[in-house]
Amino acid sequence: MTTSENSKVWVSELNARPEIRSAFPRSTVRFYDTTLRDGEQTVGVVLSPQQKLEIACKLDELGVGRIEAGFPRVSADDAQAIQLMLKANLKAELWGFSRAVRADLEELVRLGLRASVIEAPTSDIKLRAYGISAEEVLSRVRDAVSFAAQSGIRVAFFAVDGTRSRLDFLKNIYLSALEAGAAEIVVVDTIGACGPEAVEFLVRQVSDWVGPEIPVHFHGHDDFGLATACAIAAVRAGATWIQGTINGMGERAGNADIGEIALALRCLYDLPVALDLSKVREVSELVRHSSGYAMEPWKPLVGENLFMRESGAVASQFHIPEAIEPYSSELVHADRRIVLGKKSGLDSIALKASELGLAVSPEQRAPILAAVKKRAIEKRGLVTDQEFREIAETYTRAA
């Protein structure tokens, strides 16, 4: 982190203890975004090809290294979106998504994609659900990966439900995929079934199996609210690519949120990340608008409430941001604001009056505060700036 960035981060010094910092490799963490494929699996979300192009361009500006452009074999819209993205000359690599099925890969070849995830189920539960044997899935993986490699496609093998797979079989299928021509490996927590300690164990184990020359990814879901923690654990164990989505969107409880992960790695552990934190909120808003879903206002990094202060006790400290925030709003290009409501205090009135250029004397603050609280309780919400002006002018005119 640069000197100027350090001055905008106010986390606990305990994070810098040698036994904590030394546990992490110091290489840059990169992000593989799957908003346009796995993220679109959010219930009720449908993104048009043009919307996908617009989001891909913003992901590119964000610094995402790889964009999973879609699953064209099962979606004509995805094929159209991929064609649009290929013409856009993005800096980010465009990746496809394929099952261990030759026809899926033939569609990627037709479109001109040069890289793809190839997925196959690896847990006994998933094999039973698909009605195929371990031997059959191994054969499919070898055939699909070999065909892709011979067709000039760089392959990252994606072991579906890998975290619930037998370790001996998982090792066998990863090494078989590499032998057939895969260049990278993805550790996949398909249903968010692992805690951070288990993810760290598995990623370290897989890294040992495949060796230091093979990039290892982590793909996690947030079913227990631990996707960010699990991704950080994966980095600690040697993963160099983190897969996830903008806003953590995805089916069930969603995917790992790449913005949150980048923020935590950068601010808590001082790790280099290939993501521009100052642009995350802008991309978040675009994805949210395009997808048509609402998001919690208290969500880390991108929530609208993060730098908005209503409490009077907090407003009294507003002039010292590090007293009430772990990092500066400037780091993520957000606006700090005082808002007025039931929980406001005298300092809130003074700050808001100054912001709006209203002359309110110290003696007038208390009655204005009482009127603000009354209005907020009546409407069960915040008092707007215009409402505050009207309340303040009632008391300042009377003076």
Render pLDDT for 45-71 as a digit per residue (tens, 0 to 9): 999 999 999 999 999 999 999 999 999
Q: CA 266 to CA 260: how far, in whole Å?
A: 10
Query: What pLDDT, on a 0 to 100 scale, did the predictor assign at position 396?
Result: 84
Are the C-beta atoms of 233 and 203 separated by less than 8 Å?
yes
pLDDT tens track for 253-308: 999 999 999 999 999 999 999 999 999 999 999 999 999 999 999 999 999 999 99
Q: CA 375 to CA 29: how far, in whole Å?
A: 49
Query: What pLDDT, on a 0 to 100 scale, did the predictor assign at position 133?
Result: 97
Query: What pLDDT, on a 0 to 100 scale, did the predictor assign at position 397?
Result: 80
Alpha helices (runs of H) in 38-133, residue ranges in sequence order: 49-62, 76-87, 102-111, 124-130
Q: Which helix (H) or strand (E) holds 158?
A: strand 154-160
Query: What pLDDT, on a 0 to 100 scale, did the predictor assign at position 6?
Result: 74
Query: What pLDDT, on a 0 to 100 scale, did the predictor assign at position 2?
Result: 59
Q: CA 84 to CA 91: how far, in whole Å?
A: 14
Q: Which helix (H) or strand (E) holds 69?
A: strand 66-70
Query: What pLDDT, on a 0 to 100 scale, did the predictor assign at position 171?
Result: 98
Query: What pLDDT, on a 0 to 100 scale, did the predictor assign at position 141?
Result: 98
Q: Enter the tokens of residue 224.
A: 């227990």
Query: What pLDDT, on a 0 to 100 scale, did the predictor assign at position 398?
Result: 64
Query: What are the boundaries of each domain within the chain?
Result: 3-291, 308-398
Q: CA 192 to CA 20: how far, in whole Å?
A: 25
Q: Is the pTM of this model over 0.85?
A: yes
Query: What pLDDT, on a 0 to 100 scale, did the predictor assign at position 395?
Result: 86
Mapping DSSP to helix (H, G, I), strand (E, B) and coil, where does residue 66 land? strand
Q: What is the 3-state secondary structure (H, E, C) of 230-268?
A: HHHHHHHCCCCEEEEEHHHCCCCCCECEHHHHHHHHHHH
Query: What pLDDT, on a 0 to 100 scale, did the predictor assign at position 399?
Result: 59
CB 50: neighbour CB atoms within 10 A? 12
User: In the block, which residue shows the tokens 């975004």?
Assistant: 33
- Taking alpha carbons only, the member of 356, 352, 323 closest to residue 340 is 352
Phi, psi dihedrals of residue 93, rounded to the nearest 5° = -75, 140
In this prediction, the residues of the chain whose per-residue pLDDT falls under 70 are 1-5, 398-399
- The percent of the chain in helix, strand and coil, each rounded to the nearest 5, is 50, 15, 35
Q: What is the CATH number of domain 3-291?
A: 3.20.20.70
Query: What pLDDT, on a 0 to 100 scale, did the predictor assign at position 1?
Result: 55
For the packed helices 258-269 and 227-236, what is the interaxial angle rounded to 10 degrees?
50
